Structures are given as structure tokens and as C-alpha cells.
Amino acid sequence: METLYVELGERSYPIYIGSDLIRADVLAQHIPSSQVMIVTNETVAPLYLDTLLSSLPGFKVDVIRLPDGEAYKTLEHWTLIFDALLSCRHNRTTTLIALGGGVVGDMTGFAAACYQRGVPFIQIPTTLLSQVDSSVGGKTGVNHPMGKNMIGAFHQPVAVIADTQVLNTLPDKELSAGLAEVIKYGLIYDPDFFDWLEHNMEALREKEPTALATAIYKSCRIKADIVAQDERESGVRALLNLGHTFGHAIEAHAGYGAWLHGEAVAAGTMMAVNLSLKEGWLSIADAERIERIFVAAGLPVKPPRDMTESHFRELMAVDKKVVDGSLRLILLEQIGRGVVTGSFSSEHLSATITEMTA
Amino acid sequence: METLYVELGERSYPIYIGSDLIRADVLAQHIPSSQVMIVTNETVAPLYLDTLLSSLPGFKVDVIRLPDGEAYKTLEHWTLIFDALLSCRHNRTTTLIALGGGVVGDMTGFAAACYQRGVPFIQIPTTLLSQVDSSVGGKTGVNHPMGKNMIGAFHQPVAVIADTQVLNTLPDKELSAGLAEVIKYGLIYDPDFFDWLEHNMEALREKEPTALATAIYKSCRIKADIVAQDERESGVRALLNLGHTFGHAIEAHAGYGAWLHGEAVAAGTMMAVNLSLKEGWLSIADAERIERIFVAAGLPVKPPRDMTESHFRELMAVDKKVVDGSLRLILLEQIGRGVVTGSFSSEHLSATITEMTA
């Protein structure tokens, strides 16, 4: 087991990374009273709830199961957590445990932020994406019909348990989607990690535990470094959005869920790579390395075939934003160095969209 | 105009106290962008919304009116604020302004805490109670059918405007209820302020602006002192609950809203006074002074006539709590010095309940 400390003053917390970590000796030290509420979903509960329950001897444990999927990341379903907490008479010393992917983690964290004005929560992310993404940063929340993650809070967990063993039941497609974010960390911040990923992609796709633990550790460390510089997202933290502006357009076009977030980010990153190339930053050789690693990770490197130039222009509000100067993108100066910038040629951007949708 | 600074590090903010303060020169400095959302209710809007709107020249201002009353302090009505913010395309630089009493303030503050993970808000409390109570402390939230204020956040305003002029339209009964909390501050913390209140109660009930401004200033200063010592309510802040344990039982018995909160607190405080007397702390003369000031403020000094000893025992869970030692009350060592204590004779408590319900 490796332990990574996310340093945030009095809100610092450990991320435990390794195999077979859903255990009493890991959990109990982070639970201050006898009350625990597990929040999970209908897909994860049959797989890991028993393991978690048997790791909480001596605690008064209640469980709420939410339906599985981004469609249920709503205020309506979020309130079910409060109904459960109050029905089971949990007081302000209770601890919430999120057992599931990003949706469960975001909703549980937000409920913990607001129950009696704040109670502790532990995250046990069960997808690679949530292990490398929502483990760090303290962003919690739910969607509103008019926008994703519009309602939420910054609330740090008291501990995160990233157990590589739970990834054994993760579908390959979701593993690949998580790898998109892992690759992103190398691209924006750490060329050595990118090299390492090139050499270990096969082991990662085969779910080799040591390789997974290394990838998770390095990803979380990079994210923690960036978040520590910018907890409230006013500057450098935007780097984490590499590929996301193009990616969100892809998700919106395909319909959320039709393309996994990580898949859209991979294709979106290739668009950022294409533009970075035109700006004279990346070499062709580096652009090809990036394309190869996404392919090796089982990820798309182009937007959906039916997406046209005008789809992108409209979904990204390109014309309006270019006029008012508000379009900022994350581009790559080189592998391992991302930049947040509004300084790129709008002709280059147009050419990128044209080429990538050809 | 007097200005009281609530010192909370980077979350410090001013409370402006005086007459006729809903003005552009007070407001504009606290609004960082062009977007403003006013949250108010159906009772207050006809009285003061126009004044507020005319104090916001040059801003893009939207308004949402909630129904008036504690019954609407729910998650369902809270979400209407998000619907309005998103429909009117407010971004994360928007500022919310709460124009109303405690319910509007609590709901608006909680919406500001959660909209896009936190935006600034300004409070313009329009009742004496909310001016002296919710102006300080950062508590925001809504009720759940199974408990009051169960869902919420700590979120500090960027400024509070306590305008004595808006109290001119406040019903006398609500002014008295606010005075109950004002008297409480003297009782728990400041004997000189208590003396001052004894001499100025008539002016306060006549809504004399200078007297009101002094009472608000001193009340907020005392609460700010206490909150600065204990922002998250782990110790001394409990003093603010003088009379509240008995008072909540009264409110629950009468049905919330049948007795105003301040009325229940006044009668509850007299029960705490009775018990403090039995414990040998307060003198009979001081107990009589306290009773006289509540009467002078137009407040009840006994629980509702139909409330029996067994109502109190049940609603306060006295027997269970005495057995497990968890019943802690706020008592008075003398006028101006409150204590949070579990060390009182349970016979004395029984005798107090018996006497006060006789």
C-alpha cells in the first residue's frame, strides 16, 4: 500500500493506493463516532458492499443505494441521502462513505458538505476515472437540467481508498476512459510519466496491480500539486481541462453517456494537439506519439464521424467567443507542458476543426 | 452609519448599521461583476424592492420572489433560486442579495454557498431578529420535514446592511421577538448592555433609530466576539442558545409559527433563570430584573398555559438525557455571564418544570 498525502492545511487527507484495501484497519481510524452511512449504487453494491460492511465491525452502519448513472446525479436523488440520514437518526458526528464511481462520489461528498452544515466523508472510488480524478480536488455536486455540476460545494474527504482490486470488475471501455485522464496528467505536467505510460500501457490494460497503483499514484500526485497551487480554480487548475472544451462539444453532440467522458476527452485532446502543432509548438513526432498512446489505450482519436465543423462551432460558441476574446483553450507547448491560453490564431482553430471533422 | 467588522481572516466582512442604508454607495463596492440576483419574498418585495432596485444602477439585476414563511424554507423552494439563476444565465461571478428576514437570508446564503460551488452574497435583513442573529455567524440552510436547519452550509456574506428604517414596517409582535435575542446577548455576555437595555426599552419599542442602531451594533458585536472564538460551534458558541432548549419544546408544542421564536426563547430563558436561581447562582433580585425586562419588551415569561410538565419532559427527552448525561443547558451565573453546563441537579430541573407549568 502506498499513501499519498494531499496537503491542504487542516483539511489535508491521505489517499491509500494498492490492492485489497477495503479493510477495517484502513477505515476505522477515519471514523470519529459509531455512525456510518454508506452511499452506493445498484451496480456496485452487489460487487463490493459485503466487503465494505465486513470491514466496519462495531459500527452502526446504514446503507442507501442510488440508481446508477449520470442521469440520476440530480437534486432530487441527492435529497434521498438526507431522507436516509434523518430516518436512521444520524447526528452531526456521522461519517458518510461513498462506494462507487464519480457520480456516487460527487453526490455523497455534496451531501456530506451540507448535512447539518458539514460532516466527514470517505471516498472509495470504484472506477479508474474516479480514482485519478475525483480523489483529489474536493469538488462535489450535482447537475441541474440547465447545466452540469451547477450546484455543489468544495468539501474535502477525510480519506480516499483507491483499491486496484475493484478495477477487476470494471468494463474495458471504462478502464480506457480512465486512462484518458491518466495520459492527460502526463501531457500537461510530467514528460517522464508520459514515457512511463508509453512503456506500460499493455500492463495497465491487463489490469496489472503494480502498474495500476503507479499510474494512480502519479496521477493523483500531479493533480494534488496543481490543486494545491489553486484550490478554488482561478488559474493553473484550468490545465486539468486539456481536451475538455472540444470534449464537451463531443459529449453534447453525441448525447451525454453515448460517448464516455474519457473517450470524448481523448478525441478532444487530439484536437488540442492538432492546434498546438499548427501554432508551431509540438513537433509532428510528438503529435504522433500522443496519437499512438491514445490508440494503445483503446481510445478514439477523432470526433464522431457525423460531427461537422458547424456542430463544433455552434457547441463551443466559437464565433461569439472569438469576437469577445473569451475563448481560452488548454494547449501543449510540448509533451509534459500544458498552457492555458487565449493566444492562438482563429484561422488555425478553424483549420483544426475542419481537418478533424473531415 | 456605524460599521462593525466581523473578523474571520479572508472571510471578514462589514455590517453597516444605521438608517436609510439601501444605497448605491453602500452596495456597489461589494458587487464584483455586472450580475445581481435579488432573492426576496412576497411580503417584503412590495415594501423595499423598488428602493433596492434603484440602488443598483448599471447592474443587470434579476429578482426571485419566494413565498413568505418558515413553511417554505425547504429544499424544493431553495431549488427555485437555482432555476432562476440558470434561466437568467448567471455565471460564477454573480452576486446574490437577500432582501428579507431570517428565512430569506438562510435560503439565499445557502444557495450562494452552492451555486457553481460558491458565489458572494449580501444580506439585507428586514427584521430585528435577522439583523441581530443571522447577520453574524455564517449559518445558512433549509429545513427538512424531519428537522429544522438539517441541510445547510457555513457561508459568510460579503456584507450585511442592517437598516433601522426597514423596521418601521415590522409588526410590534415581531419587534418584540427580535428584542428577546437582543436581551439574550446582554444576559450571557455583557451586564452593561443589559443595564442599557433596561433604560432604553421604551425607545426601542418606539423604534427610535439611534436606540435601535445601538442595540443592533452591540448585539452583533457580542455575537461576532463569540463566533470568532468558535466559528464551527464546538464550545462557547453554545451560549447563544440560552433559553433555546426550553424554547424549542415550546415551539414544538405550540406548533412552529404559533409562538414566534423570540417569544419561545423569552419564556425558555425564564425557565433557565428559574433553574439558575435554584442552583444558587442568580439572586432573586436579578431574576426579577430579567422578568421585568422581558415584560417591558412585550414578551411572555411563562410557557403556554396548556403545556404540562410531561410535555416538557417528553419534548426535551429529559429522562433519557438525564440518564445518559447528555442534557446540557445554558444557565446564568449572573446577569452578563452565561455558562454551558451539564452540572445541575436533576431535582432542581424537575422543580423548575413543575413550577413554570403550574
Nearest-angstrom CA–CA distance, B345 and B282:
15
* Number of folded domains that form chain B: 2
What's the pLDDT tens digit per position in A17-62? 999 999 999 999 999 999 999 999 999 999 999 999 999 999 999 9
Identify which has the larger pLDDT, B115 or A238: B115
pLDDT at A232: 65
CB contact (8 A) between residue B152 and residue A75: no
**B chain contacts of residue A87, beta-carbon cutoff 8 Å:** 146
Rounded to two decimals, the ipTM of the complex is 0.91
pLDDT at B234: 64
Give the residue from B169, B187, B208 where a domain finishes.
B169
Nearest-angstrom CA–CA distance, A204 and A179:
9
Report the residue from A114, A115, A141 with minimal CB separation from B117: A141
- Measured between CA atoms, the residue of chain A closest to residue B140 is A117
pLDDT at A234: 64
Are residues B29 and B66 located together in one domain of the fold? yes
Give how far Cα A223 sits from Cα of A122, A215, A241, Å. 19, 12, 11
CB contact (8 A) between residue B86 and residue A141: no
pLDDT at A9: 86
CB contact (8 A) between residue B117 and residue A87: no
Nearest-angstrom CA–CA distance, A61 and A82:
15
Are residues B81 and B217 located together in one domain of the fold? no
Are residues B187 and B138 located together in one domain of the fold? no
Are residues A158 and A188 located together in one domain of the fold? no
Site of grid cell 478554488: A232
Asked if pLDDT for residue A147 goes beyond 70, the answer is: yes
Are residues B96 and B81 located together in one domain of the fold? yes
Are residues B302 and B252 located together in one domain of the fold? yes
Which CATH number characterizes residue B268's domain?
A: 1.20.1090.10
CB contact (8 A) between residue A86 and residue B152: no
Q: How far is B179 from chain A (nearest CA, A)?
A: 27
**pLDDT digits (tens), chain B, 358 positions:** 999 999 888 899 999 999 999 999 999 999 999 999 999 999 999 999 999 999 999 999 999 999 999 899 999 999 999 999 999 999 999 999 999 999 999 999 999 999 999 999 999 999 999 999 988 989 999 999 998 899 999 999 999 999 999 999 999 999 999 999 999 999 999 999 999 999 999 999 999 999 999 999 999 999 999 988 876 666 788 999 999 999 999 998 988 778 999 999 999 999 999 999 999 999 999 999 999 999 999 999 999 999 999 999 999 887 777 777 788 899 999 999 999 999 999 999 999 999 999 8
DSSP string covering A155-185, please? Answer: ---SEEEEEGGGGGGS-HHHHHHHHHHHHHH
Provide residues of B within 8 Å CB-CB of chain A: 75, 79, 82-83, 86-87, 113-118, 139, 141, 144, 146-147, 149-154
Report the residue from A115, A117, A151 with minimal CB separation from B114: A151
Q: Are B106 and B139 in contact (CB under 8 A)?
A: yes
| Burial environment of residue B262 by CB neighbours within 10 A (0 to 12, 13 to 18, 19 or more) | buried
Active site residue B207: no
| Burial environment of residue A316 by CB neighbours within 10 A (0 to 12, 13 to 18, 19 or more) | buried
Are residues A163 and A184 located together in one domain of the fold? no
Are residues B284 and B203 located together in one domain of the fold? yes
CB contact (8 A) between residue A115 and residue B79: no
Are residues A71 and A41 located together in one domain of the fold? yes
Which residues of B fall in the annotated binding site for NAD(+)? 68-73, 102-106, 126-127, 139, 148
- Taking all residues of chain A, what is their mean pLDDT, rounded to a whole number? 94
Q: Which of A248, A253, A278, A311 is catalytic?
A: A248
Active site residue A144: no
Q: Which of A65, A143, A181, A279 is catalytic?
A: A181
Active site residue A65: no
Are residues A350 and A251 located together in one domain of the fold? yes
Q: Which of B65, B139, B184, B278 is catalytic?
A: B139
Active site residue A207: no
pLDDT at B231: 67
Are residues B31 and B84 located together in one domain of the fold? yes
Asked if pLDDT for residue A255 goes beyond 90, the answer is: no
Which CATH number characterizes residue B70's domain?
A: 3.40.50.1970
Mutate to test the interface with B, among A78, A107, A149, A151 (most CBs of B within 10 A): A151
Which residues of B fall in the annotated binding site for Zn(2+)? 181, 244, 261
Q: Are B233 and A93 in contact (CB under 8 A)?
A: no
Which residues are registered as beta bridge partners of B18?
B163
Asked if pLDDT for residue A233 goes beyond 80, the answer is: no
Q: How far is B271 from chain A (nearest CA, A)?
A: 27
Active site residue B244: yes
pLDDT at A258: 85
pLDDT at B60: 97
**Helices and strands, counts by H and E, chain A:** 14, 11
What 3-state class would DSSP assign to A326? coil
Active site residue B173: no
**A chain contacts of residue B139, beta-carbon cutoff 8 Å:** 117
Give the residue from A117, A152, A169 where a domain finishes.
A169
CB contact (8 A) between residue B150 and residue A113: no
With a pLDDT cut of 90, the percent of chain A lying above it is 87
Are residues B132 and B218 located together in one domain of the fold? no
Q: Are B21 and B161 in contact (CB under 8 A)?
A: yes
What average pLDDT does this structure show over A155-178?
97
pLDDT at B217: 98
Which residues of A fall in the annotated binding site? 68-73, 102-106, 126-127, 139, 148, 181, 244, 261
pLDDT at A220: 97
Give the residue from B169, B196, B226 where a domain finishes.
B169
Mutate to test the interface with B, among A89, A106, A117, A321 (most CBs of B within 10 A): A117
Nearest-angstrom CA–CA distance, B39 and B111:
10
Report the residue from B87, B141, B153 with minimal CB separation from A153: B153
* Domain of B304, in residue numbers: 172-356
